[in-house]
Amino acid sequence: MSNLVRKNFDSPEETRPFERDTGRLDLVELDGGPVGRAVFQPGWRWSEHVAPIAGTDSCQAPHLGYCVSGHLAVVMDDGEKQEYGPGDLMVVPPGHDAWTVGDEPCVMIDWQGVADYAKR
Task: Give me the DSSP letters along the chain.
Answer: --------TTS-SEEEEPGGGSEEEEEEEETTEEEEEEEE-TT-BHHHHTHHHH-SSSB---EEEEEEESEEEEEETTS-EEEE-TT-EEEE-SSEEEEEESSS-EEEEESSS-SSTT--
**Domain ranges for the chain:** 14-78+85-110
pLDDT, tens digit only, all 120 positions of the chain: 788 999 999 999 999 999 999 999 999 999 999 999 999 999 999 999 999 999 999 999 999 999 999 999 999 999 999 999 999 999 999 999 999 999 999 999 999 999 999 999
Closest CA to 90 of 21, 38, 16: 38
Q: Which phi and psi (to 5°) does residue 20 adopt?
A: 55, 40
**Separation of CA 117 from chain center:** 8
CATH superfamily of this structure's domain 14-78+85-110: Jelly Rolls (2.60.120.10)
